[in-house]
């Protein structure tokens, strides 16, 4: 897949285009991307995704303190490439771009810069200033500038329209299996292992404390999870806690991510790891003593190993 950070570098004779944030590149997006590839084959063209970075809410200061996304830009590009996209244009989202009306965006970007011939639009597609651009605007401009528009319906699973917003809510609730089913892959985070207080090591459960590569990446809700950890291209099983560690750090309210990797004794401080979420096994809780915590961790380890072993059968 060719990636363009400058739209002036883009050129292809018959661009078959879709555009949007594509946060998470989930199964609802895959419907669009599959149709994009299909139409590209039909028209002897090449598939083109136009996306935006940084996230518009970061630029517009629209609740950016609470902004959490399913995929960073690098993760999104990886997922788009795996979906078979030929070209991805990353438009820098700026205050000036946010002020372009739908018709201005279509004429200046899609027509004059991209040379659009066909556009695939999702069921909830909005764009342009204040997101007021709609399918009606696309159809009006399509007639004026001689390109075709195709709108796709939503993908429904469990009687719910699959969307990035829905999946974010589900992950924050800790329902990882459902989120993974809607994503079409297992949710993951990337981060660097940083130094912690080493209390876990003193009770037989050393943990790797994870600092997210991108602070706006969505972390699942507070609790204990069965996970896989990918380090140096190897996969290890483990159990991970997201929370405030109330038994150890009663005074703090800062959420941490720490993972105990089974049968692992390497020093990986400063190294990057990927954590793949499988299932939440319990809520985080405060124990009356470190001894009680240790007993619970032993039970958790047994539960997680049994769970991951059963999935591998």
Asked, as a colleague might, if the bond just before 54 is cis with ω within 30 of 0, I would say: yes
| CATH code 3.40.50.620 region(s) in the chain | 2-161
Work out the average pLDDT over 39-58.
93
pLDDT in tens, 127-185: 655 566 667 778 888 889 999 999 999 999 999 999 999 999 999 999 999 999 999 99
Reported as a pLDDT band with limits 50, 70 and 90, residue 199 is low
Reported as a pLDDT band with limits 50, 70 and 90, residue 267 is confident
Say what the pLDDT of residue 139 is.
Answer: 85
Would you tell me which CATH number, out of the four given (3.40.50.300, 1.10.10.410, 2.40.30.30, 3.40.50.720), belongs to the domain 186-311?
2.40.30.30
Reported as a pLDDT band with limits 50, 70 and 90, residue 201 is low
Beta strands in 145-196 (DSSP E): 148-151, 156-157, 160-161, 188-194
pLDDT in tens, 178-197: 999 999 999 999 999 997 76
- Round to whole Å and give the CA distance between 18 and 143: 18
Encoding tokens for residue 219?
Answer: 């972390």
| CATH code 2.40.30.30 region(s) in the chain | 186-311
Say what the pLDDT of residue 171 is.
Answer: 97
Residue 245 above 80 pLDDT?
no
Reported as a pLDDT band with limits 50, 70 and 90, residue 64 is low
Among 9-13, 59-63, 176-180, the least confident range: 59-63
Residue 256 or residue 2, greater confidence:
2
Distance of CA 117 to CAs 17, 84, 108, 171, 179, Å? 8, 20, 14, 37, 35
Work out the burial of residue 122: count CB atoms within 10 Å of its CB; fewer than 13 is exposed, 13-18 middle, 19 or more buried.
Answer: buried
Q: Is the dihedral of CA 183, 212, 69, 177 positive or negative?
A: positive
Quote the pTM value.
Answer: 0.91
Say what the pLDDT of residue 178 is.
Answer: 97
CATH node for 2-161: 3.40.50.620
Residue pointed to by tokens 């299996």: 177
Residue 313 above 70 pLDDT?
no
Work out the average pLDDT over 293-310.
92
Reported as a pLDDT band with limits 50, 70 and 90, residue 292 is confident
Reported as a pLDDT band with limits 50, 70 and 90, residue 249 is low
- Round to whole Å and give the CA distance between 293 and 201: 13
**Percent above pLDDT 90 for the chain:** 67
Among 113, 45, 57, which Cα is nearest to 85's? 45
Say what the pLDDT of residue 189 is.
Answer: 95
Distance of CA 290 to CAs 74, 86, 238, 300, Å? 40, 54, 20, 15
Say what the pLDDT of residue 110 is.
Answer: 93
Under a CB-based contact definition with an 8 Å cutoff, are residues 23 and 164 in contact?
yes
Beta strands in the chain (DSSP E): 2-4, 15-19, 46-53, 87-92, 118-121, 148-151, 156-157, 160-161, 188-194, 208-212, 223-231, 234-243, 256-261, 272-282
Residue 246 above 80 pLDDT?
no
Say what the pLDDT of residue 232 is.
Answer: 93
Among 159, 157, 164, 158, which Cα is nearest to 124's? 164
With the CA atoms of 75, 78, 82 and 83 taken in that order, what torsion angle do they form, in degrees rounded to the nearest 10?
Answer: 70
- Those residues whose C-beta lies under 8 Å from the C-beta of residue 311, and which sit 6 or more positions away, are 278
- Round to whole Å and give the CA distance between 94 and 98: 6
């Amino acid at each position: 897949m060719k990636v363009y950070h400058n739209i002036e570098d883009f050129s292809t004779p018959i661009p078959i285009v879709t555009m949007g944030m594509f946060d998470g590149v989930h199964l609802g997006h895959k419907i669009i991307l599959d149709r994009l590839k299909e139409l590209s084959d039909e028209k002897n063209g090449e598939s083109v995704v136009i996306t935006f970075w940084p996230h518009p809410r970061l630029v517009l200061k629209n609740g950016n303190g609470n902004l959490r996304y399913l995929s960073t830009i690098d993760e999104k590009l990886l997922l788009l490439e795996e979906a078979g996209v030929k070209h991805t244009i990353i438009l820098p989202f700026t205050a000036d771009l946010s002020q372009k009306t739908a018709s201005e965006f279509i004429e200046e970007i899609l027509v004059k810069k991209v040379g659009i011939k066909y556009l695939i639009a999702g069921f909830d597609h909005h764009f342009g200033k204040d997101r007021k651009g709609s399918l009606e605007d696309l159809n009006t401009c399509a007639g004026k500038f001689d390109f075709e528009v195709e709108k796709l319906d939503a993908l429904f699973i469990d009687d719910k329209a699959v969307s990035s917003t829905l999946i974010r809510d589900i992950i924050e609730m800790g329902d990882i299996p459902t989120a993974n089913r809607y994503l079409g892959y297992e949710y993951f985070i990337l981060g660097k292992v940083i130094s912690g207080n080493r209390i876990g090591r003193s009770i037989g459960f050393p943990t790797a404390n994870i600092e997210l590569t991108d602070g706006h990446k969505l972390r699942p809700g507070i609790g204990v999870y069965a996970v896989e950890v990918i380090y140096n291209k190897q996969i290890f099983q483990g159990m991970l806690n997201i929370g405030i560690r109330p038994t150890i750090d009663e005074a703090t309210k800062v959420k941490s991510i720490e993972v105990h990797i089974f049968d692992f004794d390497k020093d990986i401080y400063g190294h990057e790891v990927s954590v793949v979420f499988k299932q939440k096994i319990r809520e985080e809780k405060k124990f009356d003593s470190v001894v009680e915590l240790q007993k619970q961790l032993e039970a958790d380890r047994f539960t997680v190993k049994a769970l991951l072993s059963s999935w591998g059968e």
